[in-house]
Structure 1
Amino acid sequence: MTISRFALAASAGLTLFQSQLAQAATTPASCLSEAEVTALVGYALPAVIGGTMKSCKPHLATNGYFATRGTEFLGRYAARKEANWPMAKAAFLKLGSTKDSKMVDTIANMPDEAVQPFVEGIVSEMVGSEIKPTQCTAIERGVRLLSPLPPENTAELVTFVLVLSDKPKPGKTSSFPICKTAA
């Protein structure tokens, strides 16, 4: 029963996740608040870090940051996943709501234990598949530079950068629908 729930969540979520960021941007009700983005980032960071470490391991020194401190660093971020999950799940469902509300309802009613591994797996694979071996040294350095920050500050910093960079050209929509706040 658990495997079939996981398979349903995986296929449903994959369908939602593939096109939702761009499509959701055209629907103001589906934009994400900065707090929701921060929760999504905070929840996803352990999968991002894990996927990056896995992809980059063959291309980095055995005495580098990932090899010597990566597991500890990843653990600090993983410890915050559960605190971020409720708002991250709501944001994930909001992104999917513009495509297929029945599918979103199905995922929303599934136990978190079935949905979480799927979300984490997709994030890890998406990140791992996008990293080029020539980027690994720079990524490792960036992670080392961010390592003194508490995980919640890193999530907020990433959100801050996303908000600043969310400036689509005239006539285009944002690829990540962050709600505009009044100045």
Structure 2
Amino acid sequence: MRAFFRTTVLLLAMVPCSAMAAQPICLSKTEATSLIAYALPQAINGTAKRCAASLPADAFLRSSKAPALASRYAGQKGRYWPKAKPAVLKALGSQGNAIAGLPDDTLQQLADTFVEGFVAQRIAPKSCKQLDLAIDLLSPLPPENTAGLIALTMDVAGSADPKLGSVSLCKDGR
């Protein structure tokens, strides 16, 4: 379960950006949920690319359902960006300050490319079957529900074992 949680957080919560920060980051529930919802399409695409060779032909991520889900989620990305942007910049730490003045289009392209590429490179192929099942199970949900469940899982798991990641939900409402 721990390995699945780590992979899910990596996949859908854009944890990779936190690796660039010097210190662990603390996101509000709104920031975390918005960041996750914004990153879902690229995370799904990156996972599908990484896992294609590891999954059977009838797997969700190898079917036309995965690109359809990513497209459905991508259609709503614009509404999540205003609250995801501060979380992206916070996750980048001091590098976030250096790029904060870039136009939103550019920041979004950088975030999108980073998430998809990072996920495609970092997912362990042995996790692909579990991720395929998780994405399939979550696929009927709208992005805000999927993101909310992932943020809740991060919060619960992080409370149980703080070593699970360097992204946590703030306890003081920040």
The alignment's TM-score, normalised by the length of structure 1, stands at 0.74
Deviations 1:103-152 (A, max 9, x none): 53441211111111211122122222222222222211111111121111
Q: Which runs of 5+ in 2 are unaligned?
A: 1-16
The one-letter amino acid of 1:162's match is: M
Asked if residue 113 in structure 1 is aligned to residue 105 in structure 2, the reply is yes
The match for 1:179 among 146, 167, 170 is 170
3-state DSSP of counterpart to 1:48: helix
RMSD: 2.5
The residue number in structure 1 matching 2:138 is 146
Structure whose CA Rg is larger = 1
Deviations 1:7-35 (A, max 9, x none): xxxxxxxxx75331x6044xxxxx32100
The residue number in structure 2 matching 1:73 is 69
CA contact (8 A) 1:43 1:84 kept: yes
Cα 1:143–1:119 shift into 2, 3 Å: same
Deviation at 1:156, TM superposition (A): 0.4
C-alpha distance in structure 1 between counterparts of 2:165 and 2:133, whole Å: 29
Deviations 1:48-101 (A, max 9, x none): 10000011112222333221311111111111211111111111222345xx3x
C-alpha distance in structure 1 between counterparts of 2:161 and 2:134, whole Å: 28
C-alpha distance in structure 2 between counterparts of 1:138 and 1:120, whole Å: 23
CA contact (8 A) 1:168 1:174 kept: no
The one-letter amino acid of 2:46's match is: G
The alignment's TM-score, normalised by the length of structure 2, stands at 0.78
CA contact (8 A) 2:18 2:167 kept: no
How many residues align? The count is: 156
The residue number in structure 2 matching 1:18 is 19
Alignment of 1:1-183 (within 5 A): 18-20=19-21, 23-25=23-25, 31-66=26-61, 67-97=63-93, 100=94, 103-167=95-159, 175-181=166-172
**How much identity, in percent, do the aligned residues show?**
36
- Which ranges of 4 or more aligned residues in structure 1 deviate by more than 3 Å? 103-106
The residue number in structure 2 matching 1:7 is none
The one-letter amino acid of 1:176's match is: V
Deviation at 1:41, TM superposition (A): 0.5
C-alpha distance in structure 2 between counterparts of 1:115 and 1:56, whole Å: 27
The one-letter amino acid of 2:120's match is: G
CA contact (8 A) 1:32 1:177 kept: yes
Cα 1:146–1:181 shift into 2, 3 Å: same
Q: Which runs of 5+ in 1 are unaligned?
A: 1-15, 26-30
Cα 1:163–1:93 shift into 2, 3 Å: same
